[in-house]
A = this chain, B = another copy of it.
Amino acid sequence: MTEAPRLDRQVCFALYSASRAATAVYRPVLEDLGLTYPQYLVMLVLWESEPKGVRELGEELGLDSGTLSPLLKRLESMGFVERRRSGEDERRVAVHLTPAGRSLSSKASGIPRHLADAAGLSAEELEQLRTTLERLTQALHRAH
């Protein structure tokens, strides 16, 4: 009969806590824009390049249509995006930014600084953390 692992030794719990803490820091800032954190992620992707199909958004964010469909519907009802059925392939839905959605980009530009300021880590440490996390995520996806 082996021992149960201690909570405070687990990387997984550290990830879970840090992720929720980071989202909590973003929340009040994003509230000013009327966005939740996942909605903000979708907007970030669209600000880089649009229009995008639902599947493409899902691949970049690691989310499926079960999450994205209602999320996009909310973004549309808030007037930040528009969904248009593709003419060539009627299955596809192209997600476009509206002018309101595009102009939100400038208001959002200062947001990542909030995390950096609150993080209590140096720029190098943050950069190294990001790299490690990306390697970890890739490896976990391969294992899954």
Contact = CB atoms under 8 A, between A and B. Distances in A.
A106 interface: yes
Interface of A is mostly: helix
Contacts of A105: 3-4
A11 to B, nearest CB: 5
A99 interface: no
26 contacts: A1-B106, A3-B105, A4-B48, A4-B105, A4-B108, A4-B109, A5-B109, A6-B44, A7-B60, A10-B130, A11-B22, A11-B115, A11-B119, A11-B126, A14-B133, A14-B137, A15-B15, A15-B18, A15-B22, A17-B133, A18-B133, A18-B140, A25-B143, A115-B140, A118-B142, A120-B135
